[in-house]
Structure 1
């Protein structure tokens, strides 16, 4: 029996999956690590925590195989996007990593807009937002000049872990697309952008395909993990790209809905010139010479977690959502906007905050719970709407994450999206996508599509209910008005926030 390992480097933990040739997960292991919040809006981590967690998780997987550990042919990675890791000339981090959810870089984003204007969107296909990597680079350059002077090269989180395991420095296209330094259609670092901000070409690592062979394990890593030194190390991809691969989103006509802490609507795209006007993100896919369009809801699953922790502390989600299916679509005229930490798509607004609209004395906690679920899904439907208006067909949606664990929510997604929603039998998220990249890289399959046919197993399908579709279509028009009508109110409340 042969195996591959998919390593998903998340924001709170690293998870490793041991997967066989049929796509069955034979074992998994995870290790958590802390966030560092030195100031409000700052979010950092120590890169060494990722490395130690990954090695420990690998060692746990390997220990379960015993003498069969040499049957693990390859490993690959999925990683949290955008995080900045600055390395000195010896490959050592010069400071903590600045993560994707760090919001200190608003000034640098405005500087990027001022310097590049419309060229930014033409080259990178994405607007300047606080989460991206270039604003973080400029922040360090302007605020920590000594650290920046030491920095000779930057990488993203999973790239640093892969470097420590293999000794080789690379960045794949799907992760590079989220830096605001890559010419997305041309698949090369943009000399124009680098020059505009006085960054040298050597500051960027060599580019590689997600299934590309990046090296083999270093001897000391092999010894600590129990893996063979001959284990192949493949580049891997950004978490959203790997999540799409793991759900089989590799061709046009199928869309992904992922509801985790944040929420994502993602659709594969073959036309590198496809124009979305910056309304959704446009990135290189983990599949070679493919792309994807993606909309993001910042507080998707987080909104439901917040609601539970605030109003039902100690209850399980199952207890919290009991009876939600008995409430008619529309939650009795109660509407929720999930802007708890601002919003991304279609409103790139860090100041907006959430609202409950239409509360009255007849509403129970169950009404509020359903309204939260509907509001999250309405927000995601804004991205679906943008894709459709750009000419994309969205009739089948693969749903993963927390939103795929509840049949009521899956039916709600079908009714709000107006599309067939399909759950997966063996959902493992980005870690499975990373394993598929390793399997393809090892030559198990002729293509990622062939791999998906074996690895991705579809489960129950939920078809839209025509009556509910009509109700939700009308409510969605109301939902779309809430942002504009509450924006000035939220701006007036900023001085009073803690």
Structure 2
């Protein structure tokens, strides 16, 4: 029999679907498959999913991937999971969902956030009070659905749910569970005070293990459902943001910037640092931390303006390219037009649910090109603000930024980021950076290529496609515009609650495919 090439599998169970990607020892993707699923909004602000959909989609993607690997002469030797964070499921003693899973997008717990979101909770959990942490939604369940929580034997993140189905183990990675905001981040263990605030008992939580540890092997039943080999090692993973950073081989001098629907900027820290400028998460490197800031309307701002002002006769897929070409012809500073990119709300560092986007300086001399450039520049200014705040909190410089995600393929945006940030911007060569980060954990966990050190594995398996360098000719103009941008939110902050009171909200159930 010919020798089969060993590969590791990264499974990314995201907000919209499960993707399984196999990588070789050099970090090249050799095969992938995906299955999608939807979500429901039974009431205004509620966002829920059926946990069974996560498993069904993972099984479908893995079954297809296993067939592709067998046909291509590849042998899976390990698997790790990454996932949408903060989303959680309540399971009964048999592992069946007691109610629909509550998603990270869910905003039902406003009263609990106001009551429980103290500085002490932030310091212990590493998470500023906001609509995202699961603690407040669990407290909502304890108050509004006490019977459901009483029937709950285990509260699990998405990772823990899939680990249970794959291996039969009641366990999860602490780098997957910590976005629930129930861990003492100094010792990576469940915190009794945070559990009590959420209305939980310690025996309702799974066992915690370090990321990169082997959790167990694929059971015979799971092997039959997925096409994976029985006893395939399942390695503890981490949340999707942390894994994206790992996939970019981020270190303490490098930040990653995921240019997706939202913009996520993060960096590595060996020490525990907490501040309102970012969320502090458990790193995929066991015992360390990921410092992460979020702007929810990143590529969303780009798509919104594209759909609003692109030429009606633009061919499908051409609208954004057309606007990018127009924006490239506009000088830095967008001729005095600024865009504040809080299209849905402001996350770090303001954590203001009332904040919204706006154009400042708009005149009849501005057109589509200036508006689109202002949007791109607004995103870049916001990331510069974040980088400066991270540097202040950690007392160390960020020397370069690695970008990934769909918008990283835009030469206009990536060059603009380098110019505004005044740092080299490297573009990740991997399309599936998040799945790659999970695969890196699997590779180190099983010792692929004889290496068990995770940072060394990440360095070996990561690559950049190209690097944008800052243009010194535009530095002065961008510094001048950024100085104005930095004052926009503090100046407008008192107006946002008054504007919020004018918004019309239409209740009703929504099913999102």
Q: TM-score range by the shorter chain?
A: over 0.9
Matches for 1:44-83 after TM superposition, within 5 Å: 44-66=48-70, 71-83=75-87
Q: Is the 8 A contact 1:173 1:285 kept in 2?
A: no
State the distance in 2 between where 1:418 and 1:353 align: 27
Question: Is 1:291 equivalent to 2:289 in the alignment?
Answer: yes
Q: Tell me the CA shift for residue 126 of structure 1.
A: 2.1
The more displaced of 298-307 and 432-441 is 298-307
State the distance in 1 between where 2:170 and 2:447 align: 23
Matches for 1:63-142 after TM superposition, within 5 Å: 63-66=67-70, 71-113=75-117, 117-142=118-143
State the distance in 2 between where 1:412 and 1:192 align: 45
Note the residue ranges of structure 2 that are not aligned, 5 or more in a row: 505-513
Which residue of structure 1 aligns with residue 510 of structure 2?
Answer: none
Q: Is the 8 A contact 1:254 1:397 kept in 2?
A: yes
Q: Is the 8 A contact 1:84 1:136 kept in 2?
A: no
State the distance in 2 between where 1:255 and 1:81 align: 20
Q: Is the 8 A contact 1:70 1:228 kept in 2?
A: no
Q: Is the 8 A contact 2:276 2:349 kept in 1?
A: no
Which residue of structure 2 aligns with residue 377 of structure 1?
Answer: 380
State the distance in 1 between where 2:79 and 2:45 align: 34
Q: Tell me the CA shift for residue 46 of structure 1.
A: 0.8
State the distance in 2 between where 1:133 and 1:7 align: 22
Q: Is the 8 A contact 1:244 1:256 kept in 2?
A: yes
Q: Tell me the CA shift for residue 81 of structure 1.
A: 0.6
State the distance in 1 between where 2:59 and 2:197 align: 39
State the distance in 2 between where 1:307 and 1:168 align: 47
Which residue of structure 2 aligns with residue 353 of structure 1?
Answer: 356
Give the structure-2-normalised TM-score.
0.92
Q: Is the 8 A contact 1:255 1:266 kept in 2?
A: yes
Match of 2:497 among 473, 486, 491: 491
Q: Tell me the CA shift for residue 453 of structure 1.
A: 2.4
Which residue of structure 1 aligns with residue 454 of structure 2?
Answer: 448
State the distance in 1 between where 2:205 and 2:285 align: 22
Which residue of structure 2 aligns with residue 338 of structure 1?
Answer: 341
Match of 1:33 among 9, 30, 37: 37
Q: Tell me the CA shift for residue 86 of structure 1.
A: 0.8
Q: 1:50 to 1:198 in 2, by over 3 A?
A: closer
Which residue of structure 2 aligns with residue 277 of structure 1?
Answer: 275
Question: Is 1:324 equivalent to 2:330 in the alignment?
Answer: no
Which residue of structure 2 aligns with residue 468 of structure 1?
Answer: 474
CA RMSD of aligned residues (A): 1.7
Which residue of structure 1 aligns with residue 435 of structure 2?
Answer: 431
Q: Tell me the CA shift for residue 80 of structure 1.
A: 0.6
Q: Tell me the CA shift for residue 70 of structure 1.
A: 7.8
Match of 1:368 among 357, 366, 371: 371
State the distance in 1 between where 2:176 and 2:78 align: 20
State the distance in 2 between where 1:60 and 1:492 align: 52
Q: Is the 8 A contact 2:345 2:354 kept in 1?
A: yes
Q: Aligned residue pairs: how many?
A: 492
Q: Is the 8 A contact 1:308 1:315 kept in 2?
A: no
Q: 1:122 to 1:489 in 2, by over 3 A?
A: closer
State the distance in 2 between where 1:388 and 1:346 align: 13
- After superposition, what is the alpha-carbon deviation per residue over 1:402-429, rounded to whole angstroms, capped at 9, x for unaligned? 3311112111111111111111223422
Note the residue ranges of structure 1 that are not aligned, 5 or more in a row: none
Give the structure-1-normalised TM-score.
0.95
State the distance in 1 between where 2:175 and 2:460 align: 23
The ranges of structure 1 where at least 4 consecutive aligned residues each deviate by more than 6 angstroms after the TM superposition are 67-70
Q: Tell me the CA shift for residue 469 of structure 1.
A: 2.2
Q: Tell me the CA shift for residue 493 of structure 1.
A: 2.3
Q: 1:97 to 1:197 in 2, by over 3 A?
A: closer
Q: Tell me the CA shift for residue 484 of structure 1.
A: 2.4
State the distance in 1 between where 2:352 and 2:120 align: 22
Q: Is the 8 A contact 2:445 2:452 kept in 1?
A: no
